[in-house]
Amino acid sequence: MLGVVDMVLRPSRSAAAAAVLLAATGFVALCSAGSGGGIAVDSGPLARSPDRTLCSQLIEPAGYPCAEHTVETKDGYLLALQRVSSGNREFGAEGAPPVLLQHGLFMAGDAWFLDSPVQSLGFILADHGFDVWVGNVRGTRWSHGHVSLSEKDKDFWDWSWEELALYDLAEMIRYISSITSSKVFLVGHSQGTIMSLAALTQPAIAEMVKAAALLCPISYLGHVSAPLVLRMVSMHLDQMVVAMGIHQLNFRSEIGVNLLDSVCDGHIECNDLLTSITGKNCCFNNSRVDFYLEYEPHPSSSKNLRHLFQMIRKGSFAMYDYGFFKNMKMYGQLKPPAFDLKSIPQTLPLWMAYGGNDTLADAADLQLTLEELQSKPELLYIEKYGHVDFIVGLKAKEDVYDHMIEFFTSFGKSLSS
């Protein structure tokens, strides 16, 4: 989800990678099609391999104990979970409350570890004595596919954030709660907050969560103001991709640059792509772009992009819209059911951090969320922050994470019960 500030498109391989990465920042990007019925083959440096795990690539080299776990969802996807501890604590040490980190769109669990141990939230939480669990949703390179489907099968990609919330996130929370015999702290960023809010409307899931911290919280998207995103929505790019038979969105191909150029050409200023998508980021760590490019972006599904664009067009927080006739078949009604934010228990503590320059998680949309919730979340507003600053900002520890940790630790010893 990361990118370069003030980068100008140019016909070089590095520029192509950076441009595609920028387009993926936040929750929207362009697609690249390869062989196999429109499914692109992931040939990036971290293409799935049994010898390449998140633990071995990013976490253990930094000196942190890390264990790999696999969770199977109800619909057969095999998800990777990493469990991380600080160097001086054992896994599941007494009094170490479990916390699950849920990444955003076109990202994976590596997003929480891309900067130094004193800057990255995953390391910071481990150093503060938390039992850190790292989620990776279906389709990302750290996860392990499906019990019967190949990634070249279109059915493998037949999902949106709705399934990520109700199947992937639900199963990860259930697994962690079972292993630790404890309720779980939940942290989400961007699409991870859409998943979290949707999942928490389900009583059985909410019961397993102690408290939730949401970075750039999203449930409604009707006030998105990012120029490049709005351009893509107006072009119906999501419908075009589906009509072309492209089921996987994968950005490790230079064709994405040409598609992006066609979106921008004559209609929008795309020289500063990051700002065009996320808003102006005050504190982005620009010096580590080459390193970020080794890990980001991860694949997602065309259906997921279409669901997000439906939210922008309709201003709703609802299940996937299949159209009148299939909605009747799927839901028994003409319109898809909305997720009822009033169903999130009033007793569930929520903490939310948002920025004045974020053009994706807009403050007006957040206000709609707050009006529907029964509880009154604790809020942290940082006027100068854009969408990216909350996860790779140079001062995110002082500006954001310290406040989050204070929120979590305010619950005291009851965390481990």
Answer for the pair 180, 98: CB distance below 8 angstroms, yes or no: yes
Answer for the pair 353, 401: CB distance below 8 angstroms, yes or no: no
Active-site residue among 358, 365, 389, 399?
A: 358
Q: Clarify whether 414 is annotated catalytic.
A: no
Count CB atoms within 10 A of the CB of residue 375.
13
Tokens coding 160: 């949106």
Rounded Cα gap, residues 12 and 10, in angstroms: 6
The identity of residue 332, as a single letter, is G
Q: Clarify whether 190 is annotated catalytic.
A: yes
Residues in CB range of 55: below 8 A, 6 or more apart:
66, 67, 68, 82
Count CB atoms within 10 A of the CB of residue 377.
20
- The DSSP bridge partners found for residue 185 are 99, 211
The CB-side HSE value for 311 (13 A sphere, CA atoms) comes to 28
Q: Is 145 left (phi over 0), alpha (psi -120 to 50) or beta?
A: left
Active-site residue among 120, 143, 190, 196?
A: 190
Q: Clarify whether 160 is annotated catalytic.
A: no
Active-site residue among 103, 144, 247, 387?
A: 387
Rounded Cα gap, residues 44 and 219, in angstroms: 32
Answer for the pair 296, 45: CB distance below 8 angstroms, yes or no: no
Which of these, 38, 250, 33, lies nearest to 139 by C-alpha position?
250
DSSP 293-312: HTT-PPPEEHHHHHHHHHHH
Q: What 3-state DSSP class applies to 384?
A: coil
- The DSSP bridge partners found for residue 133 are 83, 100
Our separate counts of H helices and E strands in the chain read: 18, 10
Catalytic residues: 190, 358, 387
